[in-house]
């Protein structure tokens, strides 16, 4: 996708996992990436990988729950590059527990990072997209926000909130040529799923019509579509990347 060459993307939680896969996929198509993560060392590793591909990157440590910290982060990004073309809100955490055992801190921390963090970053980033009358905002939700899961009421609520947030903001931003969409991954091969007992993995696999876990690259491919001209007429949508787990 040569049309993406020279674009600038900001990705939260891109120090590892799906966020890193998205950063590297965009880098393969000529995009320079600001990598935001709470762990500066892993963010730096992602930037080093981008530079090996001949792209530029900027590693930033940021707590996206802190609005002032997010503002400072974007001041640095705009000092590095003059425009932000693509925003991927990928950062997220889990604190799983059954509802009757869930502590207030387990509820609040997940809502704060996953939902409020998405609000903070989107609010700051899109001010600059508005001025340029162009932008692509992609929020990473989850099938759990659509179907629920025992022990994940906090996570499910945060991801369902992202879906509602996406649809509402898409309506606000459309007149400025800023599209806003969400991707809902299903079971993706990560460090967390790799250590699960095989019987648990097999049970999860049976829930997937395609019969296999997805990869970070699968999610990144949807990001590429939504970031490019191929997805220019798509906004306010939730695209499931789940092997068929959820069929509406």
Which active-site residues does the annotation give?
A: 155
Instruction: Give residue 110's Cα distance to chain centre.
Output: 15
Span between the terminal Cα atoms of the chain, in Å: 30
| Cα–Cα distance for residue pair 166/139, rounded to 1 Å | 7
Question: CA angle at residue 185 from 183 to 188, to 5 degrees?
Answer: 145
Residue 56 in tokens: 């530029």
Cα–Cα distance for residue pair 213/193, rounded to 1 Å: 9
- Strands 178-185 and 238-241, bridge-based pairing: parallel
């Amino acid at each position: 996708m040569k049309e993406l060459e020279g674009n600038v993307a900001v990705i939260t939680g891109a120090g590892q996992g799906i966020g890193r896969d998205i950063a590297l996929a965009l880098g393969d198509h000529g995009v320079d990436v600001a990598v935001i993560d709470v762990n500066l060392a892993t963010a730096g590793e992602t930037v080093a990988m981008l530079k090996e591909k001949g792209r530029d990157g900027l590693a930033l440590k940021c707590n996206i729950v802190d609005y002032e910290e997010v503002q400072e982060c974007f001041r640095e990004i705009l000092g590095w590059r003059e425009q932000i073309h693509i925003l991927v809100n990928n950062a997220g955490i889990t604190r799983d527990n059954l509802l009757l055992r869930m502590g207030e801190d387990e509820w609040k921390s997940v809502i704060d990072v996953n939902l409020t963090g998405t609000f903070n970053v989107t609010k700051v980033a899109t001010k600059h997209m508005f001025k340029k009358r162009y932008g692509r905002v992609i929020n990473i939700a989850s099938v759990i926000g659509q179907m629920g899961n025992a022990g994940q009421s906090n996570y499910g609520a945060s991801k369902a909130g992202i879906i509602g947030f996406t649809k509402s903001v898409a309506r606000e931003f459309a007149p400025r040529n800023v599209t806003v969409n969400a991707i809902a991954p299903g079971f993706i091969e990560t460090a967390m799923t790799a250590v699960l007992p095989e019987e648990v993995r097999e049970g999860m696999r049976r829930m997937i019509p395609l019969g296999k876990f997805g990869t970070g690259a699968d999610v990144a491919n949807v990001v590429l579509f939504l970031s490019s001209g191929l997805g220019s007429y798509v906004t306010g949508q939730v695209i499931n990347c789940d092997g068929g787990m959820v069929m509406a």
